[in-house]
Structure 1
Amino acid sequence: MLGGMLLIVLGYCIAGLIGGAIPGGSGGRAPQQGIRIYVEDNGIHTGIVLPKHAAGQSFDDLVRAGDLADPRYAGHGWLSIGWGERAFYLGTPTWADVSPTTILAAATGSDAVVLHVGHLPEPKGEPGVYPVTLSPDQYRRLVLAIRASFVQGPTVHGYGPSDAFYPARGRYSAVQTCNAWTGAVLRAAGVPMGAWTPFPVTVTSWL
């Protein structure tokens, strides 16, 4: 049985790396000038970091200062947004918090999904952060794709005073991971990206 489980895990990892290497969508060459966003990677979750106001777009109607443990952090000009399974996301801020039970519960599928939203200054030059330049049209498409994941409902304070969790649309599974969501919204914006990006490296290897 143990051997069978190891083969399943190995097969999943190989399939994920192959899916991440196959080009997906209609991404083209990045513009030389435009709107700068970032993709962040903490080794478990990837997410999108974008300015609060650009190309006539914002999240002001969805993300509010009162959702934070300390509303003063809403004065920062950037948002970090990621999607994932509620229990896994809330309970695993670092690798030290990951347990086999949490991984198995998330991988088998869950409709309890959230968006993790943090308020922060521009993360330029920070480790684990990858800059991406978008045209105004690409930026609007990105915002539209991200906004489509929000649903109405109660928020939960995040890991600290500057972030919160919001109810989200979708179903988490071993196929549709937090990193697959990041890849999907980037593809929707026209950013060159793999067809299936279940792991952080399958997202960041394109950047």
Structure 2
Amino acid sequence: MAEEEAGSLIWAKRLVLLPLAALVALAALFFLSAWIGSSIPRNGDWQEPADGIEIMVGTNGVHTELVLPIVTPVKDWRADFPTSDIPAAYRPYTHVAVSWGEREVFLNTPTWADLTLSTALGAATGGDSLLHVAHYVRPAPSDDFRPLRLTEAQYARLVAEIEHAILAPAARKTYPGYAEWDVFYDAPGTYHLGKTCNQWTSDTLAAAGVKTGWWTPMTGGVMKWVPAPSS
């Protein structure tokens, strides 16, 4: 009887540990693949020009965004992202930060502590998308806001790629942001593990001809290609 109980206990432990081991192995495979994929360059011969239009690549440690001057000879973003869509419309904004991501994650997780397993699984397996647009006043270069200079032609290609993610004002809804200076908009596309928010950032940079990684599901895979400003 004791041997039977010991055998049952061993099988019970295996039933618990095997799925956990499989999850750990899948997670390890994902992170390894992300590291390898983000280390393979696209546009490997690109070099930052000495003159041109300065943008920034921003990060909060999990999510990346493209920080763009509101008005340049190439593009005026005020028609696409009017300040009338945000509560603090009166401030002298100089830049807009644009990012793309999964609807439920964006709207229901103002902090990462609010992220639930069901929301994460839903995003990973396929979810509707939104654009997040934040308005900034003279953002200072830092490790989290890294300047990147583009030629006018490269910036024009970047703009064209972003415009693919913008629906006409009459065809989209707006949703309150996390603060007084940001807002969400309906956007085309489906979010999944192969097309994350950070992948959208690197794909947009790549479309402009900028050197970046092939597969960048995490923020580090994007930011390692953009040098931090020297102190």
Q: TM-score range by the shorter chain?
A: over 0.9
CA contact (8 A) 1:50 1:78 kept: yes
Identical columns (%)? 36
What is the aligned partner in structure 2 of residue 87 from structure 1?
104
Q: How does 1:1-207 map to 2 (within 5 A)?
A: 1-25=19-43, 28-73=46-91, 75-110=92-127, 112-151=128-167, 152-207=171-226
User: Separation in 1 of the partners of 2:155 and 2:48?
Assistant: 12
User: Separation in 1 of the partners of 2:43 and 2:187?
Assistant: 24
Instruction: Letter of the 2:111 partner, please give it.
Output: T
Larger Rg: 1 or 2?
2
Instruction: Letter of the 1:157 partner, please give it.
Output: P
Instruction: Letter of the 2:63 partner, please give it.
Output: H
* TM-score (normalizing by structure 1): 0.93
Q: Which structure is higher in RCO with an 8 Å CA cutoff and minimum separation 6?
A: 1
Moved more, 25-34 or 38-47: 25-34
Structure 2: gaps of 5 or more residues: 1-18, 227-231
SS in 2 for 1:123: coil
Distance verdict in 2 for CA 1:47–1:69, change over 3 Å: same
1:60 shift after superposition: 2.4
User: Separation in 1 of the partners of 2:68 and 2:83?
Assistant: 17
User: Separation in 1 of the partners of 2:29 and 2:182?
Assistant: 36
Instruction: Letter of the 1:128 partner, please give it.
Output: D
**What is the Cα-based RMSD across aligned positions, in Å?**
1.5
1:27 shift after superposition: 5.4
User: Separation in 2 of the partners of 1:148 and 1:206?
Assistant: 24
Distance verdict in 2 for CA 1:24–1:159, change over 3 Å: same
User: Separation in 2 of the partners of 1:198 and 1:27?
Assistant: 23
Instruction: Letter of the 2:87 partner, please give it.
Output: A
Distance verdict in 2 for CA 1:28–1:127, change over 3 Å: closer
SS in 2 for 1:59: coil
Structure 1: gaps of 5 or more residues: none
User: Separation in 1 of the partners of 2:185 and 2:47?
Assistant: 33
CA contact (8 A) 1:44 1:95 kept: no
User: Separation in 2 of the partners of 1:53 and 1:162?
Assistant: 18
